[in-house]
């Protein structure tokens, strides 16, 4: 059975399992197994291996300036046009998919800071599993200090959720703080758990914590939670290799919606409405 098949099998079992106190430990074990398999899948791709592996043309981009911003989105949502408007850098644009096939960098100055912007090739579903050039795209995104997810304003929720799923699967955590969980391994004594005053475990109990630790072959350790933490947070800390990065959702093509719809979008956190074609609110995006 392939790694992808095993991942699908575990995801199906998780979907069938009711969430309650009696199943917390079982779900925690499944999540731990799933995380290990996804890490195995990602690591295998990073190490090379056929079918479009390696850096490829345009993906080895030297960092310049004071900050690096990655433009991510599905094909033909206006990323290249936005780069052109932000930096004056030419990135080929057209009203069809897969125009940008390499990573195109540009730089603009904001006040006294130089900001490098990378127009990354359009991401597709299954990127985290090796489809298209998705893993190369996400690998470059992991080097950025800010992510701009460019969305078509006429279908934001479907695109947003799909892109978040791909990035999460590769270890990126958007608009989240790194969990303050301290794990100190030892030679004996079992698993000792401490939750600092004012914090709590979310959707898991001490049995779940122990079950997850054992899945990662941690049998003796002191674990201190200094934050509200879920099983996903614990797994992220155990595995490491996560990227916690701020993200803005750039809602492009606002010239195609009503004022009432625009008002709703403006109230959503981390959303920035623009029209790249018409140059609307580009300065507002820079201010963010």
Q: What pLDDT is stored for residue 121 in this prediction?
A: 75
Q: Is 104 helix (H, G, I), strand (E, B) or coil?
A: strand
Do 163 and 274 have their domain in common?
Answer: yes
Q: What pLDDT is stored for residue 55 in this prediction?
A: 42
| Total domain count, the chain | 2
Give the H or E element holding residue 102: none
Do 212 and 265 have their domain in common?
Answer: no
What are 119-131's pLDDT values in tens digits? 887 665 665 665 6
pLDDT at 90 over 90: no
One-letter-per-residue 3-state SS of 171-227:
CEEECCCCCCEEEEECCCCCEEEEECCCCCEECCCHHHHHHHHHHCCCCCEEEEECC
Task: Tell me the two tokens of residue 228.
Answer: 């509200």
Task: Tell me the two tokens of residue 12.
Answer: 């199906």
Of the listed ranges 3-12, 112-121, 125-134, 274-283, the least confidently predicted one is 125-134
Do 88 and 222 have their domain in common?
Answer: no
Of the listed ranges 43-57, 129-143, 193-207, the least confidently predicted one is 43-57
The answer to whether position 54 is within a domain reads no
Percentage of the chain lying above the pLDDT 70 cut: 84
Do 74 and 42 have their domain in common?
Answer: no
Instruction: Select from 220, 229, 282, 272 the least CA-distant residue to 251.
Output: 272
Do 203 and 84 have their domain in common?
Answer: no
pLDDT at 259 over 90: yes
pLDDT band of 134, cuts 50, 70, 90:
low
The answer to whether position 53 is within a domain reads no
Residue 263: which residues within 8 A CB-CB, separation 6 or more? none
Print the domain residue range for 114: 67-176+242-287
| φ, ψ for residue 172, nearest 5 deg | -90, 140
Mean pLDDT of 211-219: 96
Do 152 and 205 have their domain in common?
Answer: no
Q: For residue 250, what is the domain's CATH number? A: 3.40.50.300
């Amino acid at each position: 059975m392939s790694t992808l098949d095993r991942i699908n099998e575990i995801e199906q079992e998780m979907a069938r399992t009711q969430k309650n106190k009696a199943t917390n430990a079982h779900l925690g074990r499944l999540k731990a197994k799933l995380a290990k398999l996804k890490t195995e899948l990602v690591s295998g791709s990073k190490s090379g291996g056929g079918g479009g592996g390696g850096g490829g043309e345009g993906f080895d981009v030297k960092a310049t300036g004071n900050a690096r911003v990655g433009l991510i989105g599905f094909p033909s949502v206006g990323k290249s046009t936005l780069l052109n408007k932000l930096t004056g850098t030419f990135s080929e644009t057209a009203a069809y998919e897969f125009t940008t096939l390499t990573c195109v960098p540009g730089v603009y100055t904001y006040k006294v800071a130089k900001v490098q912007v990378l127009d990354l090739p359009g991401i597709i579903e299954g990127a985290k599993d090796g489809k298209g050039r998705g893993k190369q795209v996400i690998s470059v995104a992991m080097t950025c200090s800010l992510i701009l997810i460019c969305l078509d304003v006429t279908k934001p929720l479907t695109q947003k959720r799909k892109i978040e799923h791909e990035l999460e699967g590769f270890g990126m955590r958007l608009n989240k703080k790194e969990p303050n969980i301290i794990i100190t391994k030892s030679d004996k004594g079992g698993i000792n758990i401490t939750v600092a005053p004012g914090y709590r475990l979310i959707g898991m109990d001490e049995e779940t914590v122990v079950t997850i630790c054992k899945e990662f072959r941690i049998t003796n350790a002191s674990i201190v939670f200094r934050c509200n933490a879920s099983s996903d947070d614990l797994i992220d800390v155990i595995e490491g290799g996560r990227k916690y990065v701020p993200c803005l959702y750039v809602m492009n093509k606002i010239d195609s919606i009503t004022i009432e719809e625009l008002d709703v979008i403006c109230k959503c956190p981390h959303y920035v409405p623009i029209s790249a074609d018409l140059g609307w609110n580009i300065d507002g995006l820079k201010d963010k």
